């Protein structure tokens, strides 16, 4: 009998920076300690009533496969949705996916061959790394910094990362984990680079609704001349606070690209039927829902930024979008700190869970003194969380002296 062993890639799937501490949290919770989970973008915002109405209205008695490209009513609702934003698309420009990550996977498979390179802005959403591993592509990162609000560096800083193996640029705006909303000029810059060098511009726009202080997210497909290079990755997880719905779409005018995406979608048959029906009805969600949600997030963001900035040695720019804050805690190894928060620290039997920053960077060493916080709970909870964090940082620093 020979032993059987897992593949090299199976062993090396990058761990999610956001989820890898979960086992420690589970152990701690058994001891009765309450953990405020700021590590994951799971908001407490209620899913709109339109979703539940959509579920109730579904009267088919056989829960059948949906078409691989998505149920007609959902695809149509997405067309209506994009038209509202001045993004002119038709149903044939859209393929429904099971969440943004599936969209990134399909986009990478359609844009690259194994060993090809994709340029990303770091810090980036850490789960991208896992998708890159699945698709066997290499990320080449240019760095954005807290000092510059995580906006794009100069054109040449991006262009110099391009090699003969580069096939795409992958960005997210409003950004996870940075909260940065790229300006129209920045999106134009990226489109110009993509067009000049024959690259796809894969634009993760799942936080489109979450832009604050008068900012507006600019879609890649709002930039003229992106018909061939422009790819939108979208998801309803955040838009409708429906993370559990596992739905989104890939959008592009590039017919060859969309044919590949549809072929990939056909391999896995279809996305969930009930979720599709319910999300299709969410097109009827009133604007007031989003305005209320935005107001709520701004309040929470301000609490977090104020709370963090008041801690000595913490640098935290106020982000203009999404619901994350990247903060620098000078002199603190945040990998160690994040784990210690779960294994050792408690204030009045409460602690917080945060995502250490290194997992959001490709460049070794970067992000070691940063954390990502998701402001996904009501104001009083966020206030309390900042209190706990302030005290924890003080205690941790004194332990390390």
Q: Which of residues 254-273 bind a second copy (CB under 8 A)?
A: 254, 256-257, 259-260, 263-264, 266-273
Of the pair 1, 288, the CB lying nearest a second copy is at 1
Of 13, 159, 379, 399, the residue at the interface with a second copy (CB under 8 A) is 13
Of the pair 194, 353, the CB lying nearest a second copy is at 194
- Footprint on residues 160-189 left by a second copy (CB under 8 A): 167
- Least separation in angstroms between residue 215's CB and a second copy is 26
Which of 216, 225, 111, 130 is closest to 170 using CA atoms? 111
Of 53, 85, 134, 296, the residue at the interface with a second copy (CB under 8 A) is 134
- Pairwise CA distance, residues 309 & 244, whole Å: 33
CB 283 within 8 A of CB 77: yes
- Pairwise CA distance, residues 299 & 284, whole Å: 26
**Residue 68 interacting with a second copy (CB under 8 A):** yes
- Residue 317 phi, psi dihedral angles, 5° rounding: -70, 150
Of the pair 71, 208, the CB lying nearest a second copy is at 71
- Pairwise CA distance, residues 202 & 98, whole Å: 17
- Footprint on residues 80-109 left by a second copy (CB under 8 A): 98-99, 101-102, 105, 109
Name the β-bridge partners of 324.
374
Of 25, 51, 223, 329, the residue at the interface with a second copy (CB under 8 A) is 51
- Least separation in angstroms between residue 131's CB and a second copy is 6
Of the pair 134, 146, the CB lying nearest a second copy is at 134
Of the pair 59, 401, the CB lying nearest a second copy is at 59
* Torsion angle, alpha carbons of 357, 361, 366, 372, to 10: -20
Of the pair 29, 46, the CB lying nearest a second copy is at 46
**Residue 223 interacting with a second copy (CB under 8 A):** no
Of 32, 61, 287, 401, the residue at the interface with a second copy (CB under 8 A) is 61
CB 112 within 8 A of CB 141: no
- Least separation in angstroms between residue 329's CB and a second copy is 26
Task: Give me the DSSP letters along 282-351.
Answer: GGG--HHHHHHHHHHHHHHHHHHHHHHHTSTTEE----SBTTEEEEEETT--HHHHHHHHHHT--BTTEE
**Residue 121 interacting with a second copy (CB under 8 A):** no
Name the β-bridge partners of 121.
142
- Least separation in angstroms between residue 311's CB and a second copy is 29
CB 210 within 8 A of CB 238: yes
**Residue 353 interacting with a second copy (CB under 8 A):** no
**Residue 111 interacting with a second copy (CB under 8 A):** yes
- Least separation in angstroms between residue 137's CB and a second copy is 10
- Take residue 198 and report the two structure tokens written for it: 């024959």
- Pairwise CA distance, residues 242 & 57, whole Å: 18
Of 24, 37, 42, 285, the residue at the interface with a second copy (CB under 8 A) is 42
CA 104 to chain centre: 11
Of the pair 63, 310, the CB lying nearest a second copy is at 63
- Least separation in angstroms between residue 266's CB and a second copy is 5
> What does DSSP assign to residue 211?
B
CB 108 within 8 A of CB 82: no
**Residue 206 interacting with a second copy (CB under 8 A):** no
**Residue 112 interacting with a second copy (CB under 8 A):** yes
**Residue 30 interacting with a second copy (CB under 8 A):** no
Residues that contact a second copy, how many (by CB under 8 A): 85
Q: How many CB atoms lie within 10 A of CB 291?
A: 11
């Amino acid at each position: 009998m020979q032993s059987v062993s897992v593949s090299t890639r199976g062993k090396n799937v990058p761990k999610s920076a956001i989820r890898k501490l979960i086992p420690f949290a589970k152990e701690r919770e058994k001891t009765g300690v309450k953990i405020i989970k700021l590590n994951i973008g799971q908001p407490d915002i209620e899913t709109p009533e339109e979703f539940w109405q959509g579920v109730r209205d579904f009267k088919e008695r056989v829960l059948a496969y949906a078409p691989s490209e998505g149920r007609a009513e959902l695809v149509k609702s997405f067309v209506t949705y994009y038209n509202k934003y001045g993004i002119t698309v038709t149903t044939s420009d859209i393929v429904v996916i099971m969440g943004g990550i599936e969209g990134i996977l399909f986009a990478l498979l359609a844009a690259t061959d194994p060993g090809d390179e994709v340029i990303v802005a770091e810090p980036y959403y850490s789960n991208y790394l896992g998708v890159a591993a699945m698709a066997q592509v290499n990320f080449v990162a240019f760095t954005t910094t807290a000092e510059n609000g995580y906006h794009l560096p100069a054109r040449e800083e991006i262009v110099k990362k391009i090699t003969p193996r580069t096939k795409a640029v992958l960005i997210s705006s409003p950004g996870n984990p940075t909260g940065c909303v790229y300006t129209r000029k920045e999106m134009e810059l990226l489109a110009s680079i993509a067009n000049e060098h024959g690259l796809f511009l894969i634009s993760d726009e799942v936080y489109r609704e979450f832009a604050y202080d008068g900012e507006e997210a600019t879609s890649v497909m709002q930039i003229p001349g992106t018909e061939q290079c422009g790819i939108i990755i979208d998801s309803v997880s955040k838009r409708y606070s429906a993370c559990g719905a596992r739905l989104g779409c890939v959008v592009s005018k590039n017919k060859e690209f969309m044919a590949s995406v549809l072929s990939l979608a056909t391999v896995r048959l279809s996305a969930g039927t009930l979720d599709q029906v319910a999300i299709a009805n969410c097109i009827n969600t009133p604007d007031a829902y989003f305005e209320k949600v935005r107001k709520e997030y701004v309040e929470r963001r301000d609490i977090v930024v104020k709370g963090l900035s008041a801690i000595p040695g913490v640098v935290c720019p106020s982000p203009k979008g999404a619901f994350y804050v990247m903060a620098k805690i000078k002199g603190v190894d945040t990998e160690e700190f994040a784990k210690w928060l779960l294994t050792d620290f408690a204030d009045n039997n409460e602690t917080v869970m945060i995502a250490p920053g290194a997992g959001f960077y490709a460049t070794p060493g970067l992000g070691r003194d940063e954390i990502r916080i998701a402001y996904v709970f009501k104001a009083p909870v966020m206030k309390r969380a900042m209190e706990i964090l302030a005290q924890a940082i003080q205690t941790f620093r004194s332990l390390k002296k």
